[in-house]
Structure 1
Amino acid sequence: MSTEAKVPVSPESSRVVPSEGHAHAVERILSVAYELFSRRGVRDVGVNELIERSGVAKATFYRHFPSKDSLVLAFLEQRDKLWTVEAIVSQARRRGTSPVEHLLAIFDVLEEWFRREDFEGSTFIHVLLEMGPSHPLGQASIDYLAKLRGHVQALAEEAGLLSPDEFARSWQILMKGSIISATGGDLQAAKRAQQMAGWLIEHHRA
């Protein structure tokens, strides 16, 4: 979603206490990476462009991120925090008064996202398709999609739905499908998915 949130120091660089300049360089690099990777994917963005846009020296860049893949992994971690947790799950939980209403609100949040001018689609799906499931970046994307599914499963358990794991897998199909449809221009995709989500909930009620 928004790329304006402050980016924390990556786990790799947080093993030592950074100086102010050290932390600021990491933040700039990650902020630029978030913007470029979110909008254009991984393969289309080169290291030289990342360095130039970040305004850091090449040696500084490689000191913090020895490879482009290491930067992409840090970006995926940040994307999970800002998009999955803060933008989708937390917003959905603030809407409605029951776990079922929170589940359905996921698609209200998605619909608002789909209508934003900066809607960029699912980064995890993009990276998985770009890199393939056998690549470390593809596998990381699979893991983050599984984490998202875990949030849905937790809501299903709170709602007392039957087979919450199976429910969450079916629910994620609706989420992925609506995101891909919206990427193709269907701005009603979230509403269509939400209707099917209601049927899925009824199917899994105890």
Structure 2
Amino acid sequence: MRTGHSEPVDRILAAAYELFSHRGVRDVGINELIERSGVAKSTFYRHFPSKDALVLAFLALRDQVWTVDLIVSEARRRGTTPEGRLLAIFDVFGDWFQRDDFEACTFINVLLEMGPGHPLGEASIGYLARIRGHIQALAEEAGLERPDEFARSWHILMKGSIISATEGDFLANKRAQQMAGWLIAHHRN
């Protein structure tokens, strides 16, 4: 995974991305990150003075790689209308839910793990708000009424489907997509 940073930073972020995505923040120690990335301890701390600093960099990377480059871009590619792009989010989720490496939502996971008062929890809340911002933009493109309210309700469907898939309901995306159609109809002009 190339991030545009120096080679050691790319290696650290790649290790962090894999470990934090699948195991959470608290379960992963600095020594494991250093070992997995193959950098010296001094190199690690020169670039990331604390584990929290690395987690913040990981969250920013996750937002770009996952939210923007995959979910939003793929939904825009698959949908032929603004409403179709909104509904396509759940098609993208369906592909994700079927993957062997499905790990639920990193932002939800970190928020629940660290709590809303912790800086990492606060950062996760910010990234979740960014996701709602993407949804609101799609709702505005679709000409839906009360796009902010729509985005909040839509985000509940997104988060709920992720949690349901984590419980083993791998058709949660289709159930959420059906409810999403009703939500769109409720917000049409």
Aligned match of 2:166: 183
- CA shift for structure 1 position 139: 0.4
**Whole-angstrom distance in 1 between the partners of 2:108 and 2:85:** 23
5+ residue gaps, structure 1:
10-22
Q: Which moved more, 1:37-46 or 1:94-103?
A: 94-103
1:112-137 Cα distance to aligned partner (Å, 9 max, x none) = 00001111110000000000000000
Q: Take 1:32 and 1:50, find their aligned partners in 2: how far apart are those partners?
A: 6
The AA in structure 1 aligned to 2:143 is G
More helix by share: 2
| Cα distance in structure 2, aligned partners of 1:150 and 1:167 | 11
- Between the two proteins, the alignment pairs up a number of residues equal to 189
How many Å apart are 1:7 and its aligned residue?
Answer: 2.5
In the alignment, the residues of structure 2 paired with residue 130 and residue 97 of structure 1 have an alpha-carbon distance, to the nearest angstrom, of 38
Match among 101, 119, 131 for residue 84 of structure 2: 101
- 2:12 is the counterpart of 1:40: no
Q: Which residue of 2 aligns with 1:111?
A: 94
2: CA distance, partners of 1:7 / 1:52: 20
- Out of 26, 33, 48, the position equivalent to 1:50 is 33
Give the structure 2 partner of residue 73 of structure 1.
56
Match of 1:61 among 44, 69, 74: 44
Match of 2:110 among 127, 130, 135: 127
The whole-number CA distance in structure 2 between the counterparts of 1:8 and 1:146 is: 25
Deviation at 1:32, TM superposition (A): 0.3
How far is 1:96 from its partner? Answer: 2.3
Deviations 1:3-35 (A, max 9, x none): xx32332xxxxxxxxxxxxx1111100000000
Q: Does 1:8 align with 2:4?
A: yes
Distance 1:56 1:84 in 2: 28
The alpha-carbon deviation at position 198 of structure 1 amounts to 0.2
1:195 aligned to 178, 182, 186, which one?
A: 178
Equivalent-residue separation in structure 2 for 1:66 and 1:82 (angstroms): 24
TM-score, normalised with respect to structure 2? 0.99
Identity %: 74
Secondary structure of 1:161 counterpart: coil
> Unpaired segments of 5 or more residues in structure 2?
none
Structure 1 counterpart of 2:78, one-letter code: R
Secondary structure class of the residue paired with 2:78:
coil
Paired residue for 2:74?
Answer: 91
- When the two chains are superposed, the root-mean-square deviation of aligned CA atoms in Å is 0.6
Q: Distance in 2 between matches of 1:96 and 1:48?
A: 44
